[in-house]
Amino acid sequence: MSAISTTIDAKTVFGNWRVHFGHFSAASGTGGEINTGLDKCHFIFFFVNHSSVHADAIAANETMPCDGSAVTVVHTSSGGGNYYFMAIGY
């Protein structure tokens, strides 16, 4: 899959975990790879920012933990929009 342009908005530490917050736009296609800025991603949560309700949720198509620089996300062709994420790992 192709890379999706990703922006890291904030970084912090929760206990022993590194936590990165960011956003990306999935305007076309059915997914791609996002870079969380982590070496290893153990958990990822998505939040949608869209003007209407989505019929299908975006999802990570990975076995966790995975390479944090290329987390594959999938959505339906109508599931484009702006997404925020919180990725937890190392």
Q: List strand residue ranges (DSSP E) for the chain, in order.
A: 6-14, 17-25, 31-34, 40-49, 59-60, 66-67, 71-74, 82-89
| Residue pair 2/33 in contact by the 8 Å Cβ criterion | yes
Structural tokens at position 12? 């912090």
1 within domain boundaries: no
pLDDT by 10s per residue, the chain, length 90: 677 889 999 999 999 999 999 999 876 668 889 999 999 999 999 988 766 666 677 899 999 999 999 999 988 766 667 889 999 999
Q: Residue 41 domain-assigned?
A: yes
pLDDT value for 27: 65
Total tally of structural domains belonging to the chain: 1
CATH number, domain with residue 59: 2.60.40.3940
Domain that includes residue 64, residue range: 6-89
Q: Is 42 buried (19+), middle (13-18) or exposed (0-12) by CB count in 10 A?
A: middle
Position 85 in a domain? yes
**Residue 77 forms part of a structural domain:** yes
